[in-house]
Structure 1
Amino acid sequence: MGGKITAVSSNGTYSFTKPNRESVRLLAGLGVEGDVHAGVTVKHRFRMERDPSVINLRQVHLIHEELFDELRDAGFAVAAGELGENVTTRGIDLLGLPTGALLRLGDEAVVEITGLRNPCAQIDGFRKGLLKQVVGRGTGTGVTHKSGVMSVVREGGVVRPGDPIAIELPDGPHQPLRIV
């Protein structure tokens, strides 16, 4: 099981989108070097207002590039970094991974999947109607969240587009992803 990185993005200021980079450096226990969401404690503005001492389970945001294909088919042009993700992947079912799955990004970096991203209403400010495309009803009664997964950095290193991704699943039983 594996895939590849198609883009890496970061931004040192709060902004909905993040510019693509040639590479980013992941820092163990912190996140993407120079990114506004890096840190031991939560850096999401809404979450900081509620309790700034909460552990940051959202250090690195990953989105599967296949989502952009699906959105394009629905009439929405979205490119890597535009939904605020740090790492864009292809060839991995990110949403199907269990909590605690490890992803080796390139030769050095390892992130641990902590949960699903819950997109906020700002996404409709970026593209009207986009929120309904990434959050909706699944085939059952539950809500589906398609806007990627969140992770923490277990081992640091430089990550680049084209780097391979290897997956290590945790011992079972596996816990499904929940919003973090």
Structure 2
Amino acid sequence: KKPVERARITMEGIKGDAHAGRWHRQISLLAEESIEKMRKKGLQIGYGDFAENITTKGINLAELKVGQRLKIGNEVIIEVTQIGKKCHDDCEIKRLTGECVMPKEGIFARVIAGGTIRVGDNITVMK
């Protein structure tokens, strides 16, 4: 996936994304801190290389619970539906470093309220 400055979020996920649809993994998120951890292991990776839709900063995604909601910018609300995912058998990152962050640190969500999100938007964990 390639970074973009803004994205339109519909009730099915990110407009134009291959994973958009009426299911529980409409949007994937990964923390910048997780990407940085893998860079320290020698990987030359960037945003989107884990196929995440949204890269966050300053939120410990692994501590979120299924059912918690996040507000992104002024409009978008998503609900956490899954924490982590099993790496596929030929995960190149796991093969190169011995581990991959997605099984424990990536999260998936469904859209509660759509809108437009932009790079730099605040992300708030809702109570």
> How many Å separate the matches in 2 of 1:72 and 1:122?
20
Same amino acid, percent of matched pairs? 32
Write the deviation string for residues 12-63 of structure 1: whole angstroms up to 9, x where unpaired.
Answer: xxxxxx11112111112x11111111111xxxxxxxxxxxxxxx11000000
Amino acid at match of 1:34: G
1:119-158 equivalence runs, <5 A? 119-124=87-92, 128-130=95-97, 132-134=99-101, 145-146=104-105, 148-158=106-116
**Misfit runs of 4+, over 4 Å:** none
Alignment of 1:100-119 (within 5 A): 100-118=67-85, 119=87
RMSD of Structure 2 on Structure 1 (CA):
1.8
Shift of 1:99: 1.0
Shift of 1:112: 0.3
Supply the distance in 2 between the matched residues of 1:131 and 1:57 (Cα, whole angstroms): 28
Contact 1:83/1:123 (CA < 8 Å) preserved in 2?
no
Distance 1:129 1:27, change over 3 A: same
TM-score between the two structures when normalised by the length of structure 2: 0.90
Q: Which runs of 5+ in 2 are unaligned?
A: none
Cα displacement (A) at 1:73? 1.4
The alignment covers a number of residue pairs equal to: 126
Deviation at 1:78, TM superposition (A): 1.6
Preserved contact between residue 94 and residue 100 of structure 2 (Cα < 8 Å):
no
Do 1:121 and 1:131's aligned partners in 2 also have CA atoms closer than 8 Å? Answer: no
Partner of 2:16: 34
Q: Please, what TM-score do these two structures have when normalized by structure 1? A: 0.65
Structure 2 distance, partners of 1:127, 1:108, is 36
Aligned to 2:50: 83
